[in-house]
Amino acid sequence: MIAALVVAAPAPVQACAICFGDPNSAMAIGASWGVLLLVGVTAAVLSAFAGFFLYLVKRSRMALDQGADLPRSSQASGSM
């Protein structure tokens, strides 16, 4: 019960520079750059993921086009 009272007891707290509202502090500027970096990394990973699937679609279309150009006799003999 004493531990619950110690945890629940009000204590004076001080807000950080970001919460307090100083936009010119080093901590606020660093947090802004951190957010921009994380957004940039996320965008880069998603772009690479989408690019990979576009690459697979392109390769698939190339493979289908090459298969359609084969003569009829070679397709029939290759399927046996």
Tell me the pTM.
0.54
| pLDDT tens readout for residues 7-36 | 887 777 666 656 667 778 888 788 889 999
Domain ranges of the chain: 37-67
pLDDT value at residue 18: 60
Tell me which residue has tokens 């084969």.
Answer: 70
Listed ranges 1-5, 23-27, 31-35, 42-46; the one with the highest mean pLDDT: 42-46
